[in-house]
Amino acid sequence: MPAAVVVGAGTFGASLADRLAGEGWEVTLVDRFAPGHARAESGGETRLLRCSHGDDVLYTRLARRARELWLELGGGVFVESGVAWLVRREDGWEAESERVLRAEGIPVERMAPEEALRLLPGLSPDGLAHVLHEPEAGVLHAARGVRALVERAQARGARLELGEAEPEGGAVRVGERVLEADAVVWACGAWLGRLFPELVPLRVTLQQLTLFEAGPEWAGAGWVDFDGPWYGHAAIEPHGFKVAHDVDGPPVDPDARPLEAGEQAMRSAREYLAMRFPELADARVASAPACHYSLTADSNFLFAAHPGEPGVWLLGGGSGHGFKHGPAVAEHVASVLGGHTEPEPRFALGRRRPGRKLRTAGSSPP
Ligand SMILES: Cc1cc2nc3c(=O)[nH]c(=O)nc-3n(C[C@H](O)[C@H](O)[C@H](O)COP(=O)(O)OP(=O)(O)OC[C@H]3O[C@@H](n4cnc5c(N)ncnc54)[C@H](O)[C@@H]3O)c2cc1C
């Protein structure tokens, strides 16, 4: 039986441990903290799952496959609420998405802004050209999803070890112990750049979001205003109505970043809410978490062999849109580790041309 050590139990590492254990590997999964913890990028409340990726077919297919795998995981982790794109321009990113979704046979419908009130109660249609609806997209419960993946991995025989890991040649040191395996995969999120600074140039930024109190009458779809750039979802139990600004925040140390959003972030979320969902303008804040992105230059993920250590692999670069893809990326990685597929060239190490359109039209604040 081949053996693997996976370091990092975020969406990528937990999905991979689960996948490999299911394929009969002997798996040790290592993390500094219990799965779903608040310092991880995969922690916290919710993440959107959407197949729209502009004209990008690879990520469209990856998201669609991931959706199947999340549904298989079950446990209510994936809520098929639909995702509504609040489109400002007829010929923008969403039009490219719509073309690709139709070509891929993924359900999508275009509707007049007023019609979208049935998806998003209280939506103000002002300034919208139309709404693009992905009815089979939705919202994932994030920390809960990671825990469910780890639990299934354990049920499939994987061993979870809590402790800080460091590379030791081709092996993994955790305290006094050195773990060796046929494959070692470092899936350490924002910390990957610190562990392998000469190979992985990641930009780690502070991101803030606000969840507003809203009763069941405010339930509905996930939503994205790509050109805004804002995104969120209608009320989802037990978290509330989410509003988040999708520009890259300031650089941050993932070990020292705040766990709560600041006043300014909450104020601008409320301003957006007042503009787009005016009836909720005075809703109380339920919670306002902070998180971080681990950004590659071009927002493609990273998965590649370590050039100096046979059997060692690097996995990460979620770039603010990686959560949903975890199980599908893990399927690809497992296939590569099993010798059945070549690694996806777009995930390779090396220089990349800057770009962020897999996630947002927004830019970094000055
Ligand atoms: C505010 C916000 C909103 C987002 N919205 C979406 C969305 O709507 N849809 C979407 O798909 N994605 C979204 N994302 C992006 C997504 O959450 C990330 O891309 C994804 O969670 C990254 O997962 P990861 O496994 O790479 O990292 P992490 O979840 O950070 O996992 C890495 C793990 O490695 C562990 N680790 C690190 N170093 C070591 C070490 N030396 N020893 C042991 N363990 C170690 C850490 O403790 C951590 O648990 C969002 C992110 C944020 C912050």
Consecutive 10-residue averages of pLDDT for the chain (366 residues) = 97 98 98 97 97 97 98 98 97 96 98 97 97 98 98 98 98 98 98 97 97 97 96 96 96 96 97 97 97 96 98 98 98 98 97 85 58
In a mutational test of the pocket of ligand 1, which residue from 46, 147, 191 has the highest number of ligand atoms less than 8 Å from its CB?
Answer: 191
Residue 320 corresponds to which tokens in the numbers above?
């603010």
CA distances from 355 to 154, 197, 211 (A): 38, 21, 29
Ligand 1 pocket residue status of 302, Cβ below 6 Å: no
Ligand 1 neighbour 48 (Cβ under 6 A): yes
On the CB side of 350, how many CA atoms lie within 13 Å of its CA?
Answer: 7
Give dist(CA 163, CA 165) in Å, integer: 6
pLDDT of residue 363: 65
Kindly give the distance from the C-alpha atom of residue 172 to the centroid of ligand 1, in angstroms, as a whole number: 20
pTM for the complete prediction?
0.97
By most ligand atoms within 8 Å of CB, the mutation choice from 79, 323, 347, 358 for ligand 1 is 323
Q: 10 CA distance to ligand 1 centroid (A)?
A: 5
CA–CA separation, 269 and 304 (whole Å): 38
Ligand 1 pocket member 42 (CB < 6 A): yes
CA-nearest residue, atom 16 of ligand 1: 323
Beta-sheet strand order (sheet of 159-162): 159-162, 26-31, 3-7, 183-186, 312-316, 302-305
Reading the block at residue 12, the tokens are 């990528």
Give pLDDT, residue 54: 96
Buried/exposed code over 35-52 (b: 16+ C-beta within 10 A; e: otherwise):
bbbebbbbbbbbbbbbbb
**Which stretches of 95-158 are assigned E, i.e. beta strand?**
109-111, 130-134, 138-141
Question: E strand or H helix at 5, and its extent?
Answer: strand 3-7
